[in-house]
Structures are given as C-alpha cells and as structure tokens.
C-alpha cells in the first residue's frame, strides 16, 4: 500500500513539473513574439484631403475604428477582464503617440500592423485593413490627421501570467497580423467602384472583417475575443436568410435581430457597422444573401446545444 502511494506521489510530482515547465515555455514563446521586429516594404500612398476624401475617411474611421479606439478615436481600455488583463487601444488623434508620424508610418501600422520601431501591433486587425484600397487608406489617414488633438493616454496592455501562457499556446489565434501578412507586398490595392454590387459588397465585407468572427465560410466560428459567444451563421441558411434589407439595416442599427436577440456591441460590433454608408450596407447585404448556404459550423452547433 505504502509503495503504491509513493508511486502515485511521484507521478503527480512529475506531472506538476511538466505542467509548470510547459507554462513557462508558452510564456516565453509569447514574450519572444512580443519582442519580434518586422521589416516592411511600405508603398507610397497619396493623402486624399479634398472634401470627398475627408467625408469618406470619416465614414471609414467611424465605422471601422471607433469600436476599439473610442467614439472620439482618442483610445480606451476596450478589453478589461480580471483573468486575462487590460488592453488599451491607442489614441489616434494628433495628441497621441502618432503625433509625429509620417504618412508612411500610418500605412505601415494600418496596412501591415507594424509600428515605426518595427514592433508588431497586437489585436489591431491589419489582416483586414491589408485589403483596403490605396485611395481609401489615403482618405482614412487624411481624416485621422484632421481630428482635434486629445491628450488621452495610451498605456501598454497588461496581461496576467495565465493570459501570457494562453497567448503563447495560441489559444487567442494570431495576435499579431504582422506575423501572418506578406510584409514585402507593397503592390497597389484597387477598389471596385462604389455601388450596390457583389464586388463592392465583398470589398466592404473584407475590410470590416466579418470572417474573423463568423468564419471563413460565414457559418459561425469562435470569436477572437475569448469571453464572447461565437459569431452566428450569416449565410442564407442562418436567420439572416429570412430577412429583407430593411430588417438587416434595423438589426445593425439597434443590435436587436428580428428573432428578438439583443447583441452586445462588445462582441458583435453593430454599433460600428451601422455607421457604414447606405450603399456600403446594401452591397454588404447583397453579398451575404448570395453566399452559398451552409449548415452551422461545429463550434457554433456545439455552443447552441450547450446554451439552449
């Protein structure tokens, strides 16, 4: 009996040592990701400072950036969870850390997710903005430069030890767009003509990142936010297949679906999507309605089974 207990003790001890070693290994993997420096081939982008360019820049910034960077784009703690930590998004006004940035610095950060010192921007969705056309990027940067300066501070993110371990183990997905993107691809990005067309709808979908939460096939996926419900099925096989355009627009305006579900804007960014122009929303809806219908993904089906 004593011998058996002794062996059980040894096995538990070995397991504990292995788990602790693995935790430190994943944490150091996270640290080395965080310390990586990236070299980018940054293309020349012309600023669009005329009134049409500024108006388009404002539409893009309010629809795409305010959800994380705050209504006045002066930064905020957009993620705050006891077990994971606090993530601040930067103050993007001329009073923040970008005050002295050149256009090139903005292009490097927005299209490639890299700071002027070569460090990667974390969580910032450059995978999506990598698709943004040269013209739209020129509008967006011109608009950001025109914002009233705010001196709201932009402190670095603070992660708990557990969150660093989880990040190193890849549980949050690709944290740094820069480690996934082709940073040497400085080719010009064209945009389809603005209009209620499938091509423009696909473009709007790509720069607003629906797939990062709804999955490559749009049939539901885990959100990159670890405390969020999964993104729903937005192919015609999901609820949206029964909606007309007005119901879609109303859902994006109020966050409440025709089926009566109230969506938290922290998890489903309808409060940003609603600020897209009418043509953008119509093209987006047209694009979604023309997707091949797909059954719920396994992740979504499992979540629904557990939560119904």
Which residues form the interface with ligand HEC (CB under 6 A)?
Answer: 64-65, 67-69, 87, 89-90, 92, 97-98, 106, 109-110, 115, 121-125, 129, 140, 157, 208-210, 212-214, 223, 228-229, 231-232, 234, 238-240, 251, 257, 261, 263, 267-269, 273, 284
Least Å distance, CB 13 to ligand HEC, is 39
* Residue 56 or 115 having the CB closest to ligand HEC: 115
Least Å distance, CB 165 to ligand HEC, is 19
Tokens of 167: 């990040």
Least Å distance, CB 85 to ligand HEC, is 12
What are the DSSP calls for 103-130, one per residue? HHHHHHHHHH-B-TTSBBPBS--HHHHT
* Residue 99 or 188 having the CB closest to ligand HEC: 99
Q: Which residues contact 176 (CB under 8 A, 6 or more apart)?
A: 33, 36, 113, 120, 121, 122
* Residue 26 or 270 having the CB closest to ligand HEC: 270
- Long-range contacts, 26-29 (Cβ 8 Å, 24+): 26/164, 26/165, 26/166, 26/167, 26/168, 26/169, 27/161, 27/164, 27/165, 27/168, 28/168, 29/168, 29/169
* CB distance 220 to 297 below 8 Å: yes
- Give the integer Cα–Cα distance in Å for 48 and 197: 24
Query: C-alpha angle 190/65/172, rounded to 5°?
Result: 95
* Residue 27 or 201 having the CB closest to ligand HEC: 201
* Residue 165 or 257 having the CB closest to ligand HEC: 257
Least Å distance, CB 4 to ligand HEC, is 49
295: number of Cβ within 10 Å: 14
* Residue 23 or 239 having the CB closest to ligand HEC: 239
- Give the integer Cα–Cα distance in Å for 222 and 111: 24
Distances (CA, A) of 293 to 20, 215, 236, 240, 241: 45, 13, 5, 11, 9
* CB distance 175 to 122 below 8 Å: yes
Q: How far apart are the first and last CA of the chain?
A: 48
Least Å distance, CB 45 to ligand HEC, is 13
214: number of Cβ within 10 Å: 25
Least Å distance, CB 279 to ligand HEC, is 14
* CB distance 242 to 233 below 8 Å: no
Least Å distance, CB 26 to ligand HEC, is 19
Least Å distance, CB 182 to ligand HEC, is 20
* Residue 83 or 242 having the CB closest to ligand HEC: 242
* Residue 13 or 120 having the CB closest to ligand HEC: 120
């Amino acid at each position: 009996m004593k011998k058996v207990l002794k062996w059980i003790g040894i096995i538990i001890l070995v397991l504990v040592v292995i788990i602790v070693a693995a935790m430190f290994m994943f944490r150091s993997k996270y640290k080395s990701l965080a310390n990586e420096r990236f070299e980018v081939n940054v293309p020349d982008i012309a600023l669009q400072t005329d009134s049409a360019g500024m108006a388009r820049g404002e539409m893009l910034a309010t629809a795409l950036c305010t959800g994380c960077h705050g209504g006045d784009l002066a930064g905020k703690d957009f993620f705050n969870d006891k077990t994971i930590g606090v993530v601040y998004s930067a103050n993007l006004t001329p009073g923040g850390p970008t005050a002295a940035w050149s256009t090139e610095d903005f292009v490097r950060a927005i299209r490639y997710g890299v700071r002027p010192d070569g460090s990667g921007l974390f969580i910032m969705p450059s995978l999506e903005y990598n698709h943004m056309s040269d013209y739209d990027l020129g509008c967006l940067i011109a608009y950001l430069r025109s914002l009233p300066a705010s001196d709201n501070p932009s402190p670095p993110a603070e992660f708990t030890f557990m969150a660093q371990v989880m990040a190193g183990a890849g549980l949050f997905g690709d944290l740094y767009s820069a480690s996934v993107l082709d940073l040497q691809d400085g080719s010009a990005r064209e945009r389809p003509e603005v209009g209620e067309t499938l091509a423009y709808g696909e473009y709007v979908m790509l720069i607003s990142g629906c797939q990062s939460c709804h999955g490559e096939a749009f049939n539901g996926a885990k959100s990159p936010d670890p405390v969020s419900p999964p993104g729903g099925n937005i192919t015609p096989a999901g609820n949206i297949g029964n909606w007309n355009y007005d119901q879609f627009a109303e859902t994006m305006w109020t966050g409440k679906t025709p089926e009566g579900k109230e969506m938290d804007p922290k998890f489903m960014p309808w409060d940003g999507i609603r600020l897209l122009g009418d043509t953008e929303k119509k093209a987006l809806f047209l694009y979604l309605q023309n997707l091949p219908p797909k059954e719920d993904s396994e992740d979504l089906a499992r979540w629904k089974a557990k939560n119904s």
